[in-house]
A and B are shown apart, each in its own frame.
Chain A
């Protein structure tokens, strides 16, 4: 899912999707007359895995047929869901990225489907399930997860004789070694616009950016763990040990193709993104756990991943919930997902990966899926997102870009984001206390 967001960004915002008017009435009113014909559900989703999952469902459920519409990646799709809900023509079911889910709840898009989901909760790790459960209500069924991981150019690592770092302290040392041995290369890129990546690293360090206490929200984007992460990258960037620039630009892609970017600390979906940019380097890239802040710590956070929600506008919430559960917990659904390279959120899906061949970019890494499963089974217990992650994301991009351009402290940028997020929540009428 994350992959699509990045790819969209990489396409330089070509399609602005301004005309967000969906014409397809989500109520599918014509189909349910009399209760005998088949019901048609409308489903908004993006990514290559969806067609296979929908086909599998349609083949197994002749009475409830699903029509998929690609309404754009996470950002576009969420914006359209909000407007479509206000216009009362939202689809029945939709894919929503975890960090946008709270915004969909307060926007009145996602319906509480808790009464239908009791039987599938056990199919997921608690850390994953916590992404869709708020205040005792369940707003979706997890579809894919993006636990943080690091992909690295194994061939270049061997050539330079450097080890794969397991802690961020080691990562800094290895980064220095890379600059000494080959000044034109960089161990990794600090991308100032990567909100999701930074948030995940901060969460890995113990940050909790949004939390709920009674009726009040606490926002602590510039808390101590986050400031430590900011200072860590600041130090590497200031010493020119790590390059700071946007990802997936023609510039970055050219460096990647020239073998000058040695690793990308991101998440499990990175393999597919790298494959999209440098397919000729298949067999050179491998997967490893993301470095830890303390030696021995194995918990990682999520960067990307999404759930399937049933909308408040749906006239068939029960069937819609059934669809959301089935595609994400059945073997058929998971198989379609894995085939397209998506890492499933469900335990049955993750189990299924173990008998699959390594993905195209890493055919040489026989234990690819075992590494992936180890990473996915040790995620941080709970990550909660706030109702205006969109505001935080956009404020983060501008603040960190400015910090990199003007050479101002990253911690100041964090404070700017905090301020923007609190101001927006107060304007909307939430009770907020700064953490």
Chain B
């Protein structure tokens, strides 16, 4: 509001426009964004938080009393934090993430460096070939890999059985983690590779030329020049992968009907889905979702803080 405006600021539209042209304009331009932000982010999050403090309880007594929503305070949070199903999901996530994140990033960096190397042939084809799995929807990828894992339909098991070694138990025991992570790696390498590759293309050629004139080999150029210079891209892809890990849902859910080894609570998001839509306990699911979101936020902030010092220097 302009400080010079008299008390009649609310009078007519023309007067309003004239007097408040400088301070009002930014807000006007911001309004669509703010409205959308409020409608699709603030309100749903607020609703989820409110819902997480509620509970469905029987009222009226009797065996067929009606379930009604009541305020239960932090009961749902306590239940989620002490739920063995929910917590053990994080343990499985850790194992899954320990396999998926380093392999995805490692392979993505390797492929990006290879594509960037001067001597590599058929670059365009290779780039597309590695990127294509990213375009396959996760559910389709999981179904596809499911067929490759199941003993009767798996070509791998056909070979091992012909050799008399029996079928490969892709979907049971410890191999399960590798099998699920493999789907994410297969789908994720291409995307991360493109980000790192784009960053590599941005490195000034003088720097690389200087290194080569000084007698650095192609490998040395890659490791000593390129990798440090694309560190910000590595941090970014690392963050994406970490958040992606916390949100694993599609692959294990799609594989679940095919094996007895994946429970409905295999990862935290599956537990949340079960509570919300199978057990009809939306409040508990809301509480668990809030916890998961807060956890993701904390992990992301900590990771960025740590990485900023190393990758971007103190200036960032």
Contacts and interface: CB of A to CB of B under 8 A. Distances in A.
Interface of A: 9-10, 12-14, 16, 18, 20, 75-76, 79, 82-83, 86, 102-103, 105-108, 134-135, 137, 192-193, 212, 215-217, 244-246, 248-251, 254-255, 387-388, 390-391, 393-394, 397-398, 401-402, 404-405, 424, 428-431
B182 interface: no
A75 B143 contact: no
Given A12-B143, A390-B278, A430-B58, A250 B150 contact: yes
Contacts of A424: 279
B257 A12 contact: yes
A12 B64 contact: no
Contact of A134 (B64, B152, B254, B265): B64
Nearest to B62: A215
A75 B260 contact: no
Contacts of A20: 277
B143 to A, nearest CB: 6
A39 to B, nearest CB: 27
Interface string B252-276: 0111111111111100000001100
A106 B59 CA distance: 10
A192 B260 contact: yes
Given A79-B277, A192-B260, A394-B274, A430 B63 contact: yes
Interface residues of B, number: 42
B65 A251 contact: no
B263 A398 contact: yes
A12 B146 contact: yes
Given A135-B63, A246-B258, A254-B152, 15 more contacts: A12-B258, A14-B254, A107-B66, A134-B64, A135-B64, A193-B260, A246-B259, A248-B257, A250-B150, A251-B151, A255-B152, A387-B63, A394-B264, A405-B172, A405-B261
A12 B144 CA distance: 11
A402 B253 CA distance: 16
A250 B264 contact: no
A146 B124 CA distance: 58
Interface in B134-162: 139, 142-143, 146-147, 150-153
A251 B153 contact: yes
B202 interface: no
A246 B260 contact: yes
Interface string B109-143: 00000000000000000000000000000010011
Nearest to A106: B67
Given A251-B151, A405-B172, A106 B260 contact: no
Contact of B63 (A217, A390, A397): A217
Max chain B C-beta neighbours (<10 A), residue from A215, A216, A255: A215
A216 B257 contact: no
Contacts of B61: 215, 431
B64 A13 contact: no
Contacts of B150: 249-251
Contacts of A108: 66-67
A251 B258 contact: yes
Contacts of B309: none
B280 interface: yes
B127 to A, nearest CB: 31
Nearest to B72: A427
A429 B279 contact: no
15 contacts: A12-B255, A75-B278, A102-B64, A106-B64, A192-B260, A193-B257, A215-B62, A216-B63, A249-B258, A250-B258, A251-B150, A394-B274, A394-B279, A428-B67, A430-B63
Given A79-B280, A402-B263, A13 B58 contact: no
Interface string B65-85: 111010000000000000000
Nearest to A249: B258
A388 to B, nearest CB: 8
* Shortest beta-carbon contacts, A-B, top 6: A429-B58, A401-B260, A251-B150, A254-B152, A212-B63, A398-B263
B57 interface: yes
Contacts of A387: 63-64
A191 B155 CA distance: 25
Nearest to A17: B277
A236 to B, nearest CB: 16
A31 B285 CA distance: 38
B227 interface: no
Contact of B265 (A16, A212, A398): A398
Contacts of B304: none
Contacts of B146: 12, 250
B107 interface: no
Interface string B268-310: 0000011001111010000000000000000000000000000
A13 B58 CA distance: 31
A428 B63 contact: no
B56 interface: yes
Nearest to B55: A427
Nearest to A255: B152
A215 B63 contact: yes
Interface string B12-53: 000000000000000000000000000000000000000000
Nearest to B261: A405
